[in-house]
Amino acid sequence: MIAVLGAIALVVRLTPFLMPLQAADIAQTDQAFRFYDRNGLFLGTVLSADQENTSVVSLDEVSPYFQQAIIAAEDGDFYHHGPLDLQAIARATYQAIKHQKIVSGASTITMQLARMLGDRPRTLHAKLQEIWVAWRLGAGMNRQEILTAYINRLPMGGNIYGVEAAAQIYFGVAAADLNLAQATLLAAIPNSPTYLNPYHYWDNLKQRQRYVLERLVAEGELSPEQADRVFQEAVTLQPRHQGILSAPHFVFLLTDQLDTSQNPVIRTTLDKNLQDFVAAQVRQSVLNLNQNHVHQGAAIAIDNQTGEILAYVGSTDYFTPQGETDGIQSLRQPGSTLKPFLYQLALENRIIRPNTILADIPTYYAIPDAKLYEPTDYDEKFLGPVRVRLALGNSLNIPAVRVLEKVGVEAFLQRLHQLGFQHLTEAPDYYGLGLTLGSGEVTLMELANAYRTLANGGKKSDLVSHFAHPESATTFLSDSSTWQLITQMLSDKQARAIAFGVDSALNLPFPAAVKTGTSSNYRDTWAVGFSEKYTVATWIGNFDGTPMQQVSGVAGAAPLWREIMLHLHQQREPSAFSEPAAMVKRPICALSGKKSTGLCPVIVQEYFFPEDLAEYEMDLDDFYQEINGEIRLVLPPEYDRWLATQTTLAMPQSGLKILFPQDGDRLLSDPNNPGQLVVQFQTTNQEPVQWRLNGNPWQPDDPQNPKLRLTPGPQTLEIRQGDRQDQVNFSVEVAPSQTTKRGFSVN
């Protein structure tokens, strides 16, 4: 009988070796991610799928102090017994019988690990299961593997599990850097994680720490004097972090992209200080427009060279029902923000030239199975013949549709795909000519990176969100010259003055290219732009798609864009944009786009492709003609109906006029950067003009584009040409300090 029982016991004890549990079998693949900004500032933690805050580390990434302390506190003979400590079991049983209560425990570290691997009730059957699992662990894993699995699963208070997560949360250090005082405090917590939580029961924890220190003394690891010093040592707890402190939309977006097996500590590209500033500006911008039925906004800032995302604000407040929506990833109609890419493609393919004249006149397009399509601008006015620069700068719809008709919707859609607009998945006929006006749907992130591509001269690469991000390939979409030309046009303050004025939110005191957009019925407003260093994209609107009350891009998203751009460049003014490569400037008549014959009243400079210079010399202005001794404006027949509605195209009787500044203007000057005023004038011939400022002769450096340095006070500017003259009186005032960053027409 004894032999039979012995055989049964032997079989039971040896069976686990036939079914061993190895380290790979119990590996933790799901852990919490901890996010930091580019400078090491904490952004937030995203819990594991089990809603646990845990991080897995190897044994050599854990302080020896903690290893000694946890073994001393929980299983002093860990390295000297098997999965079960029979001597401890006997001792615990004897003490329980003698004192009629549990005096000491007998669970080994291996037994505790077995308990952690299953969620079982405290019953005899469950205890037998734990013993069985402990035997299997002992059969398949060595001591170091068991200890590693154990310390990564230790309950450390609340939903915190493992020594690494606890060290980071409570002390702000890695587990490898724990000192003895910190290590003994953490080793004390697993005995009763709820009632030894450092944030709630510090005194209880200190008592348990004393016990841990006493065990270390008993094990010969410390002297009593050393233990006393450690107990008295001051230890500072980190402020209690409540989940995500900053950039919640960004953190959750990144979490979805990460592999759960990778390092759970993520150093992102965000700048937390900038992130917090942008978040505050989004909230303030929306607050300023609340009366116009505006409730949401979003913004993203990017480093042009690296593609690193520096700020990412998806809504006014993530922790509200509507705020959970990510405005940077939401699909919305982009308004006019795609126009620069249409004009770039048309210039690249030589479908238009920089001096091409486009007709901004009432135009109708027949669309199959639909009514006649008549694109209009928001002010429902028409400018007649306009240069490409003015058409783009003032976001004129009809010229853009004319250009798209020549380029082709399919070709434009293909270019948008190359730029990364991956949600424009319908056939070209679905979007039609309205594609350039925003008939498709894009995200703010797609827009931001497309404009970054524009800033980089047609060089495209993916955005970067964290520093472990694999480097993406760079694609050169085409020669840089036309991209640089579009940048020059978008940065031209004078070119957009017709639609936006000379003192709009788009005008910064440094070189910056920008484009606004407004979707139909004022549902979305956009502002996307860049300096040579940064790209910023902003959106203002409502997530539920309800219209705002007469809020356009320049009034909605542009002020937010402006504040972010000013903040980004407050320490260093950006460099000027590069001139379009291999292109040259030539004077042209502002209305016809051709070389002047001497009759055109307004001459401007425009870029030319080298291959077009010969035609430039031969194709002379024919809009202004001398008929019966008078200079008359003669436009092509397509402008007849439009021309009949105009009353402001007559040539001044003298043939000489100062267009800007105008008589009576009151101009504001930046006290920190007074800048120069670009004077605009028109004349009927190319004879030299003479200038007088406040009665004194004034000779500008560039006679074609005279720039006047601003000085405070009343000013009188006079222009003379032979016996003809014109004069304006205006004043210059120094702007208050809080508005010194506002620009008007200062270069």
Measured CA to CA, the distance from residue 438 to residue 375 in angstroms comes to 12
Task: Give a yes or no: residue 13 inside a domain.
Answer: no
Of the listed ranges 13-17, 294-298, 721-725, the one predicted with least confidence: 13-17
**Kind plus residue range of the DSSP H or E element containing 7:** helix 2-14
Please name which of 537, 36, 563 lies closest in space to residue 272, comparing C-alpha atoms. 36
Same domain? For 635 and 692 the reply is no
DSSP string, 54-120: E----GGGS-HHHHHHHHHHH-TTGGGS-SS-HHHHHHHHHHHHHHTS--S----HHHHHHHHTS--
Pair 564, 598 in one domain:
no
Q: Domain count for the chain, please give it.
A: 4
Chain segment 671-712, per-residue pLDDT in tens: 655 567 778 777 766 678 899 999 899 988 888 778 888 788
Q: Give the per-residue pLDDT at 83.
A: 65
Of the three residues 232, 254, 269, the one that is the final residue of a domain is 232
- Bridge partners for 633 per DSSP: 624
The pLDDT value given to residue 393: 95
Mean pLDDT value across residues 598-619? 93
Residues with Cβ within 8 Å of 299's Cβ and at least 6 positions away in sequence, in order, are 278, 281, 282, 311, 313, 536, 537, 538, 539, 560, 561, 564
Q: What is the mean pLDDT of residues 478-493?
A: 96
**Residues 6+ positions from 236 with CB-CB distance below 8 Å:** 171
CA 85 – CA 75 distance, rounded (Å): 9
Identify the CA nearest to 375 among candidates 434, 290, 455.
434
Q: What is the mean pLDDT of residues 85-102?
A: 54
179 assigned to some structural domain: yes
The confidence band for 746, taking pLDDT boundaries of 50, 70 and 90, is very low
Res 738: pLDDT: 40
Higher pLDDT, 212 or 92: 212
User: Does 247 reside within a domain?
Assistant: no
Residue 287 within any structural domain of the chain: no
Return contacts of 347-352, CB within 8 angstroms, 24+ apart.
347/388, 347/482, 347/485, 347/486, 348/478, 348/479, 348/482, 349/407, 349/411, 350/609, 351/403, 351/406, 351/407, 352/388, 352/403, 352/406
The 10s digit of each residue's pLDDT in 638-666 is: 988 888 777 655 454 456 778 777 777 66
The verdict on 127 and 91 lying in the same domain is: yes
Q: pLDDT per residue over 569-594, tens digit each?
A: 999 889 999 999 999 999 999 999 99
Identify the helix (H) or strand (E) that includes residue 271: none
Quote the mean pLDDT of the chain: 84
- Residue 239 burial class via C-beta count within 10 angstroms: exposed 0-12, middle 13-18, buried 19 and up: exposed
Q: What is the mean pLDDT of residues 201-214?
A: 96
532 and 666 housed in the same domain: no
* CATH code (residue 125): 1.10.3810.10
Look at residues 675, 682, 633, 636 and name the one whose alpha carbon lies nearest to residue 657: 682
pLDDT at residue 372 tops 50: no
Q: What pLDDT band is residue 344 in, cutting at 50, 70 and 90?
A: very high
> Quick one: 562 and 588 in the same domain?
no
State the Cα–Cα distance between residues 213 and 221, nearest whole angstrom: 9
Same domain, 623 and 660: no
Instruction: Say what percent of the chain tops pLDDT 90.
Output: 52
Mean pLDDT computed over 241-270: 83
Predicted model pTM: 0.74
Spatial distance between the Cα atoms of 430 and 413, rounded to a whole number of angstroms: 11
What pLDDT is attached to residue 1? Answer: 56
Q: Mean pLDDT across the stretch 199-207?
A: 94
The DSSP letter of residue 167 is I
Distance, CA of 339 to CA of 515 (rounded, Å): 9
Give the pLDDT of residue 592: 96
Q: Are residues 595 and 696 in the same domain?
A: no
Query: Which has more confidence, 341 or 703?
Result: 341
The answer to whether residues 615 and 535 belong to one domain is no
Residue 144 has a CB neighbour count (10 Å cut-off) of: 14
Is residue 43, in this structure, part of any structural domain at all?
Answer: no
pLDDT-derived band of residue 126, with 50, 70 and 90 as boundaries?
Answer: low
Residue 210: name the closest of 88, 69, 71 by CA. 69
What's the confidence (pLDDT) of residue 649? Answer: 56
- 13-64: per-residue pLDDT in tens? 555 554 565 555 556 666 778 899 999 998 988 876 555 677 788 899 999 9
pLDDT at 10: 47
| Residue 743 pLDDT class (50, 70, 90 cuts) | very low
679 close to 689: Cβ distance less than 8 angstroms: no
Q: Could you read off the pLDDT of 435-480 as tens digits, one per residue? A: 999 999 999 999 999 999 999 999 999 999 998 877 778 999 999 9
Instruction: Please spell the DSSP secondary structure of 689-706, one letter per residue.
Output: -EEEETTEEE--S-TTS-
Sorting pLDDT into bands at 50, 70 and 90, what band is 185?
very high
Cis peptide bond upstream of 661, omega within 30: yes
Stated as kind and residue range, the H or E segment containing 669 is strand 666-669
> What token pair was written down for 529?
């732009």
| 547 and 484 within one domain | yes
Domain-located, residue 692:
yes
Question: Quick one: average pLDDT of 427-441?
Answer: 94
Is a pLDDT exceeding 70 seen at residue 151?
Answer: yes
Which range marks the domain in which residue 634 is found?
A: 584-643
CATH number of the domain within which 678 lies: 2.60.40.10
The answer on 480 and 377 residing in a single domain is yes
Count the helix, strand and coil residues of the chain and give each as a percent rounded to the nearest 5.
Answer: 35, 20, 45
Cα first-last separation, the chain = 105
Burial environment of residue 8 by CB neighbours within 10 A (0 to 12, 13 to 18, 19 or more): exposed
In this prediction, residue 116 has a pLDDT band, given cuts at 50, 70 and 90, of confident
Residue 33 in contact with residue 41, Cβ under 8 Å? no
Instruction: Classify residue 503: in a domain, yes or no.
Output: yes
- 220 and 320, same domain (yes or no): no
pLDDT of residue 740: 31
**CATH number of the domain to which 513 belongs:** 3.40.710.10
State whether 683 and 603 are in the same domain.
no
The residue out of 643, 672, 688 marking a domain boundary is 643
pLDDT tier for residue 160 given thresholds of 50, 70 and 90: confident
Whether residue 265 is contained in a domain is answered as no
